[in-house]
Amino acid sequence: MPKQKPRTILDKEAVDEMIYNTKSLRDRLILELQARCGLRIGETLRLKVSDVSDRKLLLQEPKLGKEEEVAFMPEQVAKRLDEYIRKEVLAPGNRLFSICYSTARSLVKQYGEKLSIKISPHDLRRHSATYASRNGVPLEIISKVILRHQDLKTTQMYLGKVSDTEAIRWMDTVHER
């Protein structure tokens, strides 16, 4: 099996700045659903109004070949999404974001370029997993809830290398200084 080249993991500040610099609520939500909820770009673009229920997203035809899966949103993202649906006057059968994959990919790339960051939509999903891991979320939760992977090994490939500073911080946290 070919060895994967390590991906650069985006730090929280860069992702936050990219999200805050968006031009529209639509763009912000597309980025947040990937970076904060761990959605794949295709899952994000297939979402319909009827798939949104409070802080849950029903993902139709997810990657794993299942009929559907559930993803969860932080409270602030759910509020912004509700605001967006009302503002755009979207009906239950409407897609949330009526753009194609290549447009969404370009959008992510352009927001990254504004910060001199080379980024793809999947890097935002990877950030979601790494950020959760760095904040003490158990690997099982990251794997089964955020990324919705069947195998923990797949999730481990998403997580960035732990720096010496991070390792020391966790040692102090675990052993209460």
Which pLDDT belongs to residue 166? 66
- Show the tokens assigned to 109: 């790339």
Contact 57, 70 (CB under 8 A): yes
Residues 6+ apart with CB under 8 A from 58: 50, 51, 52, 68, 69, 70
Residue 171: the pLDDT is: 79
CB neighbours of residue 142 within 10 Å:
23
pLDDT digits (tens, 9 = 90+) for 2-39: 555 556 678 899 999 999 999 999 999 999 999 999 99
Calpha distance 158→175 (Å, rounded): 27
CATH topology of domain 12-174: hpI Integrase; Chain A (1.10.443)
pLDDT in tens, 35-82: 999 999 999 999 999 999 999 999 987 776 677 889 999 999 999 999
Query: What's CA 141's distance to the chain center, in Å?
Result: 14
Mean pLDDT of the chain: 87
Domain-wise residue ranges, the chain: 12-174
pLDDT of residue 154 exceeding 80, the answer is no
Structure-block tokens of residue 140? 């099982």
Q: Is 164 helix (H, G, I), strand (E, B) or coil?
A: helix
pLDDT at 108 over 90: yes
Q: How far apart are the first and last CA of the chain?
A: 42
Which pLDDT score, from 0 to 100, does residue 120 have? 92
Residue in the block written with tokens 């794949």: 40
- The order of strands in the sheet holding 52-53 is 52-53, 56-60, 68-72
Q: What is the pLDDT of residue 74?
A: 95
What is the per-residue pLDDT for 6? 56
Q: Model pTM?
A: 0.83
Q: How many CA atoms lie within 13 A of 8 on its CB side?
A: 9
